[in-house]
Amino acid sequence: MERTLSIIKPDAVEKGHIGDILKIFETNNLKIVAMKMVHLSTQEAEQFYAIHKERPFFRDLIDFITSGRVVVSVLEGENAVAKNRELMGATNPQEAAPGTIRAEFADSIDANAVHGSDSLENAKIEVEFFFNNQLAAL
Ligand code: AMP
With a 6 Å cutoff on the Cβ, whether 109 touches ligand 1 is: yes
Q: What predicted TM-score, i.e. pTM, was given to this entire model?
A: 0.95
Q: Which residue has the higher pLDDT, 42 or 138?
A: 42
Indicate the pLDDT class of residue 133, thresholds 50, 70 and 90: low
Taking residues 60-76, what's their average pLDDT? Answer: 98
Instruction: Output 114-117 pairs: Cβ under 8 A, ≥24 positions apart.
Output: 114/6, 114/7, 114/8, 114/9, 114/12, 114/21, 114/88, 115/5, 115/6, 115/7, 115/9, 115/65, 116/4, 116/5, 116/6, 116/7, 116/81, 116/84, 116/85, 116/88, 117/4, 117/5, 117/81, 117/84
Confidence of residue 45 (pLDDT cuts 50, 70, 90): very high
| d(CA 45, ligand 1 centre) in Å | 13
Cβ of 61 closer than 6 Å to ligand 1, yes or no, is yes
- Output the pLDDT for position 121: 97
* Pair 25, 87: CB distance under 8 Å: yes
pLDDT at 135 > cutoff 90 = no
Distance CA 47, CA 41 (A): 10
Biggest alpha carbon–alpha carbon distance for the chain? 40
* Mean per-residue pLDDT of the chain: 96
Q: Ligand 1, from 9, 57, 72: best to mutate by most atoms within 8 Å of Cβ?
A: 57
Question: What is the DSSP pairing of strand 70-77 with strand 114-116?
Answer: unpaired
Residue 136, pLDDT > 90, answer: no
Q: Provide the terminal-to-terminal Cα distance of the chain, rounded to the nearest Å.
A: 14
